[in-house]
Structure 1
Amino acid sequence: MPIMNEPVASEAEREIERLMSLHPKGFDLSLDRISQLLERLGNPHRKLPPVIHIAGTNGKGSTSAFCRALLEAGGYAVHVHTSPHLVHWHERYRIGVKGGRSRHVEDGLFADAIRRVAAANDGQTITVFEILTAVAFVLFSEQPADAVVLEVGLGGRFDATNVIADPAVSVIMPISLDHQAYLGDRVELIAAEKAGIMKRGRPVVIGQQSFESARDVLVSTAERLGCPAAIYGQDFTAHEEFGRLIYQDEFGLADLPLPRLPGRHQYANAAAAIRAVKAAGFGVTDAMMEQAMTTVEWPARLQRLSEGKLLGFAPPGAEIWLDGGHNPAGGEVVAEAMAAFEERQPRPLYLIIGMINTKDPIGYFRAFADLAEHVFTVRIRDSEAGLDPVVLAHAAFDAGLVAEPAGSTAEALAEITRRQLPGVPPPRILIGGSLYFSGNVLADNGTPPT
């Protein structure tokens, strides 16, 4: 019972489809091509408002969202570039609005920028990600704003965003194993790649790190480059106390509401964002922090699905969560959140998971071994890298879970409904394993990000 929800491609998306037919897919980590392209475009990346540049294996998207919420709470106009998108390419580009909430780029403006960048590239060998990063710089240099929040795509040192020579602040969020084929198979090697966004003498914020070896690499790089560094757990921190978030740094202490984004891992993400915005030179008031905690939004990161088409297939009263975490570290923080929910309100936990073949599915599933009652595995649509649901079910089984493939998210939800027994609380259902799969789910549900 698939849900058909294929939107008509917009003008900008047709331009991107054309580019994807002309240029190699994936990543080719180098700064030469994009630097030459930007030169032909008049170096728009040198004409930006102050840039908050964010790298990390996990948490960089949430931290970007906290930075945006904090700055917008102060009335600042904020451009934001993130990746990947969930449903539409436009999600990657938010255009700042003075005194208001940034908006996804308007389609005509987006399409025009893509055409101009493609014309400047003039058929030269380049990846689509590099072209679209140049598009961000063109858009953000031509629209007035007070700040740019710029998320790294992959790695740091050779990521296309790393042409920014003088960021207001560089931020490095938690580092763990991911993209080993590109970045190395040890966290120290990955940390060295992420540390490549640090620039001599420019402020650095180092978020909470699970691996001391990664933290050591980041701290020593900052010291070598003479970067004023603020380190989580040393110079700033955050924790929960009596249902409130307590943030503290060298400037003082703030007693704030818990973040709107669920999960304890978001406390450290919020803290890094607060410290980063301060390091970037913006005045931050208690009122700004308080508002940011209650207004922050970041789809598919422990997002509660409370409306939409898919809910009709689920058992009445079911609690449905969507999360795009896709590596073992991401699995651990989401499993921790599920365990906390279970403590407060016990319910049977079902997983509906889709993943791509560059991830570690057994490592992801292992975090749920003592929590989940059953796993359904689903293929990611429109992705050549999507894992076969049978293979993914075997990975879940190898991690100690009971699993079976399903034809779609709707079919999995319907099967959970069929298994619902009288007298048993409605289930808690976690849908996730990939941001690409999360995008499929939001499209099927009729609730794309806004």
Structure 2
Amino acid sequence: MTVHEDYVKLVKKFDKSWRVVHENRVPFLKEVIGWLDNPDEQLKIIHIGGTNGKGSTGEMINEVLLAQGYHVGHFASPAVYTSREQISFDDEMITEAEFIKYFKQIYKVVQAHGKGIKDISSFEWWTLVALVSFAEKNADFVVLEVGLGGEQDATNLISSAMLDIFTKISYDHQAILGDKLEGIAKIKAGIIKPGATVISYNGQDVAVKRILKEATETAGAKWYDGKSPVITTFKASPEGTVLKVDGNTDVFLGLAGQYQVLNLNTAIQAVHALRDLGVEISSDAVRNGLKNAKLPGRMEYNAAQNILRDAAHNPDGIRGLVASLAAWKLPFKPTVVLGILRDKNYLSMLEDLLPQVSRVIAVTPANPGRALTADELAAQILELNNTVEVAIADDPTAAITLARQIRENSQTMIVVTGSFYTLRAVKGIKF
């Protein structure tokens, strides 16, 4: 059996359910990490929670630290095209062979304590493998992004953090986190650790910010109240944004999207806070790191094909996508390949998106249990806006065929969006 076959066979055995609703999960995982001699305790961790922007903020910080010459472990979710995207070290994604190695190393200890593979969920296994691998590779820093929620998230097994960063906190996963913003904020604030420096997104809701500040004081952490970065946008395009940051001109941010400027504000606050803690980070490292920042499936633009892939999967994400499309002043309204999960607030997403597009090709995301079918999506679109052209694609290949036909008659941008599962559905199919 090949390494790839071994890897596929292994990950298929994982329990894919989220266990964040179980109050005993984090205490159990703390016990497990203790069996492994607490590798997290030798790591300098930058823990990032929030709703939207965790991936972008984490990637900016990761790239700035790498540009300074540090060795950095980065744990990010959800993955878009392959689960291995979740774990990278010095920008190299974990290999299948490495994952198997670290899994076996951990599983041997887990079995010795009477537990089996199903006693730990898939996301929990990935978290454990990340921390063990980063410790073994002697990472100088670890950028650790929360998966879902905060207090009961698997990443909250860590005992300490240098920085606890909060990106914008808004509504998402209401079935798990509840439908009250303040309640969601309290759950997310549960990651705050004693002694950590706490940083918040600059445009945070007033009530959310108050909750974060109260949680910071209760935990014995320190609220970062340094000077807010001064950021000016000069030119925005699908390839990225030219900016002035704290007096540094001609800074190019490789992550496209108007909303990335607010995420950049959070990342620069983190840079200032790290400097305050004695971490050397030069202006050149900031400039080079931001230029190198890229994320699969997040405002991922292919200029040769004029295709944008963006896994905007909730109302906030769609609003950010729409704002970016407007800022780019495109010559034609885009054609959108769209697939949405039924447990999202898809009516709100459609209300924001439809006025900004010329046509929609409805697809069914690659998640049969949660997907809004292409037929259902098309019906909702026609009910909300009968001026938008709608087509239904039975499968991803059909969606691409339709998009190609549209391409023959105009230079319209094609946008693939609505869910990470939508991006996975069209992965590898050429436009």
Q: Give the TM-score normalised by structure 1.
A: 0.85
Q: Are 2:30 and 2:158, in contact at CA under 8 Å, matched by a contact in 1? A: no
> Secondary structure, in 3 states, of the residue corresponding to 1:427?
coil
> Secondary structure, in 3 states, of the residue corresponding to 2:168?
coil
User: Is 2:353 the partner of 1:368?
Assistant: yes
Q: 2 CA distance for matches of 1:133 and 1:438?
A: 23
Structure 2 counterpart of 1:395: 380
Gaps of 5+ in 1: 1-7, 97-101, 312-318
Structure 2 counterpart of 1:115: 104
1:20-419 alignment to 2 at 5 Å?
20=14, 23=15, 25-29=17-21, 30-48=25-43, 50-96=44-90, 102-122=91-111, 123-124=115-116, 125-230=119-224, 235-243=227-235, 244-248=242-246, 253-280=247-274, 281=277, 282-306=279-303, 319-341=306-328, 343=329, 345-381=330-366, 383-400=368-385, 401-419=388-406
> Secondary structure, in 3 states, of the residue corresponding to 1:368?
helix
Q: 2 CA distance for matches of 1:419 and 1:443?
A: 20
> Secondary structure, in 3 states, of the residue corresponding to 1:257?
strand
Gaps of 5+ in 2: 236-241
The root-mean-square deviation of aligned C-alpha atoms, in Å, is: 2.4
Structure 1 stretches of 4+ with a deviation exceeding 6 A read none
Q: Are 2:367 and 2:421, in contact at CA under 8 Å, matched by a contact in 1? A: no
Count matched residues.
411
Give the residue type in structure 2 aligned to 1:245: L
Shift of 1:421: 7.7
Q: 2 CA distance for matches of 1:142 and 1:421?
A: 52
Q: Are 2:182 and 2:211, in contact at CA under 8 Å, matched by a contact in 1? A: yes
Structure 1 counterpart of 2:12: 17
Structure 1 residues 391 and 235: alpha-carbon distance in aligned structure 2, compared to 1, 3 A threshold: farther
Structure 1 counterpart of 2:238: none
Q: 2 CA distance for matches of 1:178 and 1:74?
A: 35
Q: 1 CA distance for matches of 2:379 and 2:213?
A: 40
Shift of 1:361: 1.4
Shift of 1:222: 2.2
Shift of 1:431: 0.4
Q: 2 CA distance for matches of 1:25 and 1:224?
A: 32
Structure 2 counterpart of 1:4: none
Structure 1 counterpart of 2:425: 440
Structure 1 residues 51 and 182: alpha-carbon distance in aligned structure 2, compared to 1, 3 A threshold: same
Q: Are 2:400 and 2:430, in contact at CA under 8 Å, matched by a contact in 1? A: no
Q: 1 CA distance for matches of 2:272 and 2:70?
A: 14
Q: Are 1:93 and 1:105, in contact at CA under 8 Å, matched by a contact in 2? A: yes
Give the residue type in structure 1 aligned to 2:191: I
Q: 2 CA distance for matches of 1:40 and 1:357?
A: 40
Q: 1 CA distance for matches of 2:110 and 2:379?
A: 45
Structure 1 counterpart of 2:411: 426
Give the residue type in structure 1 aligned to 2:76: T
Q: Give the TM-score normalised by structure 2.
A: 0.88
Q: In percent, how many aligned pairs have the same letter?
A: 26
Give the residue type in structure 1 aligned to 2:19: F
> Secondary structure, in 3 states, of the residue corresponding to 1:236?
coil
Residues 39-62 of structure 1: CA deviation (Å, up to 9, x unaligned): 2222222232x1110011000001
Q: Are 1:238 and 1:267, in contact at CA under 8 Å, matched by a contact in 2? A: no
Residues 290-339 of structure 1: CA deviation (Å, up to 9, x unaligned): 112211111111111246xxx5xxxxxxx211001100000000001111
Q: Are 2:339 and 2:362, in contact at CA under 8 Å, matched by a contact in 1? A: yes
